């Protein structure tokens, strides 16, 4: 299901229950399209996420951690000026459209109370967030400014009059009667007639259209039946259980918890991409060059296979030199190793001796080139494996681990260190800690430098080391000399989760005592070799990760 008008209706109800009457304590804009309002309500702080992301636009309470950028954006500075300490008067939805309005009242520096409306329009790539002066109806500021040349329908700049998006002439399903649904012949007819109904919702309504109104009213209070399910082999989120769901749902206590889990990987990867776009572009260019170099080196290595023939030609020409006529372009001689006839090309300008020496020279040149080619092939292949492991780690690490990967790339010489960096430095702890169900501590490296430190310096020789087989991933140290089978399985599931195979099933994971691991001289960070390992197949499990994580 998409974040359609029906889902918006349920979410607005949830936000009113939790945040109305609260006070805005903090305003952040951690990413270009996302806003975080920390609202003090019911004696606790709650984070309200307003997103105008082109793919993940939504409004929800979130428990995910966010960091402030070093330099605040213009929009967040405007919000801090006008609505810091504002009281949330309430949330409402425009009919059944994906437009959420937050009514706010705030005092200015003179103590006068002013009314504002913070509007989130959820419209795919046209999504936007506005702060409106309720008294004048003008836009104070907005998260995405659009020039008049690119939008002729309405002004999307500060001081423009706020104008609603183009209205669709459709019925609000929450004010409709059962009679309004009678006679409709398809799910498409439902979407055509009623406002804010998505594809999945219309299919569900049409499956039992005689009870359409009853189904729609269930959106007024969906929790705790909010479900994160697999529907028709596709991951989806639903505010209530749909009868057409084909697999067992995973239920959550609130719609916001549901969205936190549903968007956990999607939004995380997107945010990491925003932060590391220039870095990944640079690494991708190096990776492309390396792969091209490997092809050339393998081609050169293939060419050396002919060197034994050159050595044979030189040897035969030396043996049968008296039979060679000066000025000949070729000669056929008997190979005395297998009694087969061999035709050898000659340079007519060379003497028989010079022709023989010419083949010996080609042989020695190719022979001498092999060690260099193999050395370069090993160096380049190792670099490819390393870069692929770094790029893969950006797909499964958390947003707060990105700084560690950037430091790793600086130390490895792939990117330059900036002279000034306003970002807060993370505490220098190595790895993330987990505890198995049976009480054995585990530590997971979040970048290749941490992997090296964990495995080669901090782990004891009798501890167990785990890593996905032949796939980029984190090193996992299980701090026990004789772990039980259940703990090994859980550690393997953690290793599979923190790897490129996170979304796979039956992931092979190697495990072995640390004493059987060594790091070759000059090897890239994170690269080790080992022997005597065992391998088990496990399924990555996000819920297990949350359960076993300390703190």
Q: Could you give the CA distance from residue 351 to residue 312 in angstroms, rounded to a whole number? A: 18
How far is CA 500 from each of CA 167, 178, 382, 391, 399, rounded to the nearest angstrom?
Answer: 44, 50, 18, 10, 16
Q: Supply the angle between the helices 255-262 and 5-19 in degrees, to the nearest 10.
A: 120
pLDDT value for 3 = 87
507 within 8 A of 468, measured Cβ to Cβ: yes
Question: Alpha-carbon distance 523 to 525, whole Å?
Answer: 7
Per-residue model confidence as pLDDT tens digits over 388-408:
889 888 877 777 788 888 888
Longest dimension (CA), the chain: 114
More confident residue, 280 or 150: 280
Residue 251's φ and ψ, nearest 5 degrees, are: -95, 150
What is the distance between the terminal CA atoms of the chain, rounded to a whole angstrom?
33
Residue range 451-460: average pLDDT? 94
| Reduced 3-state DSSP string for 428-448 | CCCCEEEECCCCCEEEECCCH
Whether the pLDDT of residue 207 is over 80: the answer is: yes
Alpha-carbon distances, residue 389 vs 166, 280, 496, 527 (angstroms): 47, 12, 14, 10
The pLDDT confidence band at residue 543, using thresholds 50, 70 and 90, is confident
Q: Is the pLDDT of residue 248 over 80?
A: no
Position 262 scores a pLDDT of 82
Residue 521 phi, psi (nearest 5): -60, 130
Q: pLDDT tens digit string along 77-97?
A: 999 999 999 999 999 999 999
- Residue 468, CB-side half-sphere exposure with 13 Å CA sphere: 26
Please state, rounded to an integer, the average pLDDT across all residues of the chain: 89
Residue-wise pLDDT tens digits, 426-437: 556 788 899 999
**pLDDT score of 422:** 46
| Cβ atoms of residues 1 and 200 within 8 Å | yes
At which residue do the structure tokens 């400014």 appear? 145
DSSP tally for the chain: helices H, then strands E: 13, 22
Q: 171 - beta bridge partners? A: 194
């Amino acid at each position: 299901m998409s974040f359609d008008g029906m889902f918006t209706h349920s979410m607005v109800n949830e936000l009113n229950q939790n945040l109305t009457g609260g006070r805005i304590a903090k305003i952040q804009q951690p990413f270009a399209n996302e806003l975080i309002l920390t609202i003090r309500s019911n004696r606790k702080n709650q984070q309200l996420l307003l997103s105008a992301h082109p793919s993940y636009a939504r409004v929800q309470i979130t428990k995910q951690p966010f960091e402030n950028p070093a330099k605040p954006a213009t929009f967040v500075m405007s919000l801090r000026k006008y609505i810091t300490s504002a009281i949330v008067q309430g949330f409402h939805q425009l009919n059944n459209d994906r437009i959420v309005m937050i009514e706010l009242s705030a005092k200015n520096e003179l103590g006068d109370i002013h009314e504002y409306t913070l509007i989130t329009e959820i419209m795919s790539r046209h999504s936007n967030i506005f702060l409106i002066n309720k008294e004048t109806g003008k836009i104070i500021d907005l998260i995405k400014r659009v020039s008049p040349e690119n939008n002729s329908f309405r002004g999307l700049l500060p001081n423009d009059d706020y104008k609603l998006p183009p209205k669709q002439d459709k019925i609000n399903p929450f004010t409709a009667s059962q009679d309004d649904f009678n006679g409709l012949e398809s799910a498409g007819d439902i979407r055509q007639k009623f406002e804010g109904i998505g594809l999945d919702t219309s299919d569900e309504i049409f499956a039992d259209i005689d009870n359409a109104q009853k189904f729609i009213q269930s959106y007024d209070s969906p929790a705790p039946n909010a479900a994160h399910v697999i529907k028709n082999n596709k991951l989806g989120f639903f505010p209530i259980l749909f009868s057409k769901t084909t697999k067992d749902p995973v239920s959550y206590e609130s719609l916001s918890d549901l969205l936190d889990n549903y968007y956990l990987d999607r939004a995380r990867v997107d945010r990491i991409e925003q932060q590391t776009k220039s870095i990944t572009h640079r690494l991708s260019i190096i990776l492309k060059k390396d792969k091209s170099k490997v092809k050339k080196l393998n081609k050169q290595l293939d060419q050396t296979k002919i060197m034994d023939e050159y050595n044979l030609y030189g040897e035969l020409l030396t043996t049968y030199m008296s039979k060679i006529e000066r000025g000949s372009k070729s000669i056929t001689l008997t190979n005395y190793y297998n009694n087969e006839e061999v035709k050898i090309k000659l340079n007519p300008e060379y003497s028989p001796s010079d022709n023989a020496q010419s083949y010996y020279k080609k042989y020695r040149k190719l022979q001498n080139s092999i060690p260099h080619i193999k050395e370069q092939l090993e160096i380049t292949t190792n670099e490819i494996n390393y870069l692929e492991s770094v790029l893969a780690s950006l797909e499964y690490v958390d947003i707060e681990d990105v700084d560690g990967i950037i430091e790793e790339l600086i130390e490895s010489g792939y990117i330059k260190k900036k002279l000034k960096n306003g970002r807060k430095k993370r505490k220098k702890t190595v790895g993330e800690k987990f505890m198995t169900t049976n009480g054995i501590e585990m530590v997971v490296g979040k970048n290749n430098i941490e992997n090296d430190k964990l495995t080669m310096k901090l782990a004891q020789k009798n501890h167990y080391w785990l890593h996905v087989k032949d796939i980029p991933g984190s090193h996992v140290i299980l701090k026990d000399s004789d772990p039980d089978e259940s703990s090994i399985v859980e550690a393997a599931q953690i290793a599979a989760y923190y790897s490129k195979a996170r979304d796979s099933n039956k992931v092979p994971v190697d495990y072995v005592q640390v004493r059987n691991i060594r790091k070759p001289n000059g090897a890239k960070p994170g690269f080790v070799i080992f022997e005597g390992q065992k391998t088990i197949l496990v399924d990555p499990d996000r819920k297990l990760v949350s359960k076993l994580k300390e703190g």
